[in-house]
Amino acid sequence: MKKIALLLFLLPIKLSYCQQTQKPVLHAKNWMAITGKPLAATAGSIIFQQGGNAVDASCAMLAATCTMFDVLSWGGETQALIYNPKTKKVIAINALGVAPTGATVEFFKNKGYEFPPENGPLAAVTPGTPGGLCYMLANYGTMSLEQVLKPAMELATGYPIEAQTANSFERSKKVLKEWPYSKAIFLPHLNEKREAPEAGEIFVQQDLLNTLNKMITAEKNALKKKKNRKEAIMAAYKEFYTGSIAKEFVRGSKEQGGLITMEDLANWKVIEEEPLSTNYKGIDVYKLQAWTQGPAMLQALNILETIDLKKMQYNSTEYINTIYQTMSLTFADRDFYYGDPYFSSQIPMKGLLSKAYAKQRALLINPSKNELFTPGNPYLFQNEKINPFDNYLQLHNLLSDSNTKNPAQFLPKHDANGVAFNKDNYMDRLWRGTTSVEAADKEGWVVSIVPSGGWNPACIAGKTGVGMSQRMQSFVLDSAISPFNVVAPGKRPRVTLTPTLALKEGKPFVSFGVQGGDTQEQNSLQFFLNMVEFGMNVQQACEAANINTNQLWLSLGGSKLKDRKPRYGNILVHDKTPESIRQQLIQMGYKLSFDDRTSGPLNAIYFDWKHGSFWGGSSNHGEDYGIGW
């Protein structure tokens, strides 16, 4: 009887990841296109059917999602990992904008800010997505910019807007009315009861269409001058950053109080760089560098590699506690040590990613109760005896420790806008900012992109139709919070945006991305473990219940220190978590919040080399959608 009782106790934990999923696995053998919008996935499928490769298709999906606006815009930022089957290497694309001229600590402090603002023209870094798209297409695609942008341009002429986006515009209309160019686009029914478009109404963006046409015209003119495909695409790039589009963007930004100059746009460049990686039980996992939070997942995997997770059982109390504290350890390091590596050579990434450092950090995990962790000293693991930022580190620990009794706030506050925090607002914010784009083809190209910026409510830059980024808010104004992430002109903020690509035995294993601010790396980590440790298929892993923590410095939302400080022990768990586990977590010092959505909108492609096929996974929340053939 005791054995039967034990099996019954374990049964819900085991079955929770074996049950039928809400959405089916997507199977294909030729190509796969997955992203956050059904119409955008369709754009990718159109390009594939016309003979494009995964880079062409991913650029078409990126363009379409930007045009559909609520989760990102053309003025935002693009981060990508690409597997090149010709070189069998993973490359990283850094298309994150930089702080403009005049964006200094003194400037923002003189305006009364403790962090740069959440929205509006002063929240904007330079646009990165147009340049990132052109660079990827020119160097790794096969098609013209005109071919790849055609679906997005058709959307700009008018598409039946979905309820999620239309309702988001309506909820944000008070803020949108502050910016004349935004009001003209997003609120076509001014002074009526409902000022935003209705669901299904044809949403037209003529200014954006004109901007995209200018880029295509620049490409065509270059081709007429006998330039090759790559040179022609980069002529469109130049038109955006130095031509008539740039002039109108700067004019419109300055009119509304922005800082971006023509020199800022002209000096910004896409960077192709080496990704960071670690090996987890024979799987090479690739992330972007420390200008993102991507290395935090690599650090977490290094810690967890020393622990028998499978023995703990999926989402048991022991497992949840271990994952939570591992994330707390890595986020403590992220919050202090990560930043733009092109501004400082002292970021201790070698030490942070060393296996020896991970073993030391793993010893700090307490199996009995939650702990408040501080950043470690990775410099010791790269043959440096002294931490050059020890004085800031002591101040950082004091700041982080002073707010441990605050109530739970599981809100990725992309924009608070004075609205009371409730579940509907939470879900809207989680859906609205950022998306993911995953594409793969039978030739072997794999693309994982997590683009963002310019989400609703977006401040439109003049008559360009382009929404400006809000990424400036991810900077800090105090070195004690993060010495590597203090705002300065020409510098990139440390962003939450983090695509992932994993290889096994030298071949693509899985690519994935997720939206959701500081929850991105948390959900990416657990998705990966769901597949590797617990044998879930890609769709099960997308839908499986995760945990989320706020025991970290928030990267988005809130202009005051109290808005951003870590919330000790705050944990979001699935609302079907058994009562016994709830009580055990409370006894261990956790403050629980509940929801039926804890995994975030996650999209992924698994590579089945045994059968020569792709398995696609797409979130069962939001509008994420995939098409394969």
As averages over each run of 10 residues, the pLDDT of the chain (629 residues) reads: 34 50 96 97 98 98 95 96 98 98 97 95 98 98 98 98 94 96 98 97 98 98 98 98 98 98 98 98 98 98 97 97 98 98 96 98 98 96 93 90 50 38 48 84 98 96 98 97 98 97 98 94 97 97 95 90 92 96 98 90 96 96 93
**CB distance 240 to 208 below 8 Å:** no
- Confidence at residue 414, expressed as pLDDT on a 0 to 100 scale: 40
Question: Which residues touch 525 (CB under 8 Å, ≥6 apart)?
Answer: 297, 300, 301, 323, 327
* Both tokens assigned to 505: 């035995």
pTM assigned to the model? 0.94
Distance CA(48)–CA(57), nearest Å, equals 6
Tell whether omega for the bond before 24 is within 30 degrees of 0, i.e. cis. Answer: no
pLDDT for the residue 622? 82
**Pair 211, 194: CB distance under 8 Å:** no
Question: What's the topology of domain 16-23+276-432+492-628?
Answer: Glutamine Phosphoribosylpyrophosphate, subunit 1, domain 1 (3.60.20)
| Nearest residue to 289 via CA among 225, 222, 345 | 345
Q: What is the pLDDT of residue 198?
A: 97
Helix axes 163-171, 423-432, angle to 10 degrees: 110
Residue-level pLDDT at 4: 34
Do residues 452 and 72 make contact, with C-beta atoms less than 8 angstroms apart?
A: yes
What pLDDT does residue 167 have? 94
Spatial separation of the C-alpha atoms in residues 124 and 397, rounded to whole Å: 30
Domain ranges of the chain: 16-23+276-432+492-628, 36-272+435-474
Three-state DSSP class for 409? coil
The DSSP H or E segment spanning 524 is helix 520-532
